[in-house]
Every structure is written in structure tokens, then in C-alpha cells.
Amino acid sequence: MHIVDPSVVCGERVEIGHFTVIEANVKIGNDVKIGHRVTIHEGTVIGDGVTIADGAVLGKPPKPAKTSTVKLSGELSPLVIGDHCTIGANAVIYRGATIGAYTLIADLASVRENVHIGQYVIVGRGVCVENHVQIGDRTKIQSNSYITAYTTLEDHVFIAPCVTTTNDNYMGRTEERFAKIKGATIKRGARVGGGAILLPGVTVAEETFVAAGALVTKDTEPKTVVKGFPARFSKMVDERELL
């Protein structure tokens, strides 16, 4: 048994699992597979060939706490999921996000509002992508990484497991912080090793290699390897590894 609002527009060859709820004005393409206990909120748009695993929540309306730093402004557009995406079990994707074609949002991942994710992207298991984040094509974010609000990941970026990005040097104190909140900018082809920490506002230049466990406190130079605590120049990236 499932509940589908009469206004839902459903393509051909759509499979819907047990106890799934699909709200008003949802649009579903052809050849879509929807698992058990899935919730698809009002207005969500799902492309052709999408697979949605059990327990996923799509198009969730955000409701931030009164003390949240990031505030909602204006009406959010519906969640849009591109063709041939895969949404993992118990993943939660908010209203106001757009997901490009052939992207994987893995089990237990969370993608907040005002997020744009490109094509052929991997968002790994347990990854948290906060609001106002831009992620380019063919970028990979491995399990349990944290992508803070106002972060930009360009094309072909690699984020290893358990990477942490930050955006607030004042850690929630002073009114001054509101004008200075900014996540990292990770440029095309950069790679960030497991457990690395990126401080607010740093730019990781094109093809930078950030070693595992590094603490990035300042901007890097293109095609360099940085490591340490804090991260410092170690050597140039081997030419064989460049895109």
C-alpha cells in the first residue's frame, strides 16, 4: 500500500514500494524505481531512470532553529533530481536543492536547501552537505565528510573520508561574524586527504593535493602538495597525477 496524491504526474514504468507517500504536484519521469517507506514532498521533480532506496526523504521543507546562523529568505523552489540519479537508503534531500544527472547520493547522506550539485557526482555514505553549497561535475565526496554552508567545490574535486570544512572563525560569537561567514573554495582538480580540516574562507587552488590529517589555515598554490598541522608546502604534484 502507498499514498499518491491525485495531482502527481507519473511517467511510464514507475515502481512504487509499500508505505510510500507522494505529495501534491510531484512530477516523476519514466523508468523510476521508488523503494519502501519513501516520502516525496510537494512539488519535487524526479527525472527519468532514477532509483530511490528505502526510507529516503525528498524535498523536505527546511525549518531552522531560531538561533540558526543561516536564515531562510523567500520561497524555495522544489527539489529537482536529474535523470539516472541514485538516492540511497534514508538519505534526506531538502527542498531548494538541484541534483544533476547520473549523481549518487548515498545511504544516510543529507543535502540541505539552496544546494546545487552537478552531474556524475558522488556524495558518499553519511556525508552532510549544508545549505548554500555549490558542487561541480564529477566531484567525489567520500563517507562521513562535512561540507559546511557557503562552500564551493569545483569540477573533478576529490574529498576523502571524514574531511571537515568550517565557515565561522568566531564560532557563533559576536554580530560581526554574520558578515564574514564563508566556507572553503576548492578549485578544479584539487584533492583533500582523509581527516583534513579546512578553516573558514581558505582557497584550495587547482590541482592542490592536501595530505591526510592536514590543517589548512591559508590559501594554497596550484599543483602543490601541502601537509602538516598547520599545512605547509611539501613539494609539487607529480605531473602524472594532473588532470
Closest CA to 115 of 139, 151, 85: 151
pLDDT at 70: 67
CATH architecture classification, 1-61+77-118: 3 Solenoid (2.160)
Residues 59-67, mean pLDDT to the nearest whole number: 85
Residue 19 has pLDDT above 90, yes or no: yes
Domain ranges of the chain: 1-61+77-118, 130-243
CB burial of 119-144 (b: ≥16 within 10 Å; e: otherwise) equals bbbbbbbbbbbbbbbbbbbbbbbbbb
pLDDT at 69: 67
Calpha distance 211→214 (Å, rounded): 6
73-82, 144-153, 222-231, range with the lowest pLDDT: 73-82
Calpha distance 242→76 (Å, rounded): 39
CA 225-128-22 angle, to 5 degrees, is 145
Residue 109: CA atoms inside 13 Å, Cβ hemisphere, count?
Answer: 25
Would you identify the CATH topology of the domain 130-243?
UDP N-Acetylglucosamine Acyltransferase; domain 1 (2.160.10)
Closest CA to 50 of 94, 98, 102: 102
What is the 3-class SS of 173-215, one letter each residue?
A: CCHHHHHCCCCCEECCCCEECCCCEECCCCEECCCCEECCCCE
Q: How confident is the model at residue 169 (pLDDT cuts 50, 70, 90)?
A: confident
Q: What is the rounded end-to-end Cα distance, in angstroms, of the chain?
A: 49
pLDDT at 217: 98
**Global pTM value:** 0.95
Residue 66 has pLDDT above 80, yes or no: no
Q: How confident is the model at residue 165 (pLDDT cuts 50, 70, 90)?
A: very high
Residues 119-138, mean pLDDT to the nearest whole number: 98
The answer to whether the 1-61+77-118 and 130-243 domains have the same CATH topology is: yes
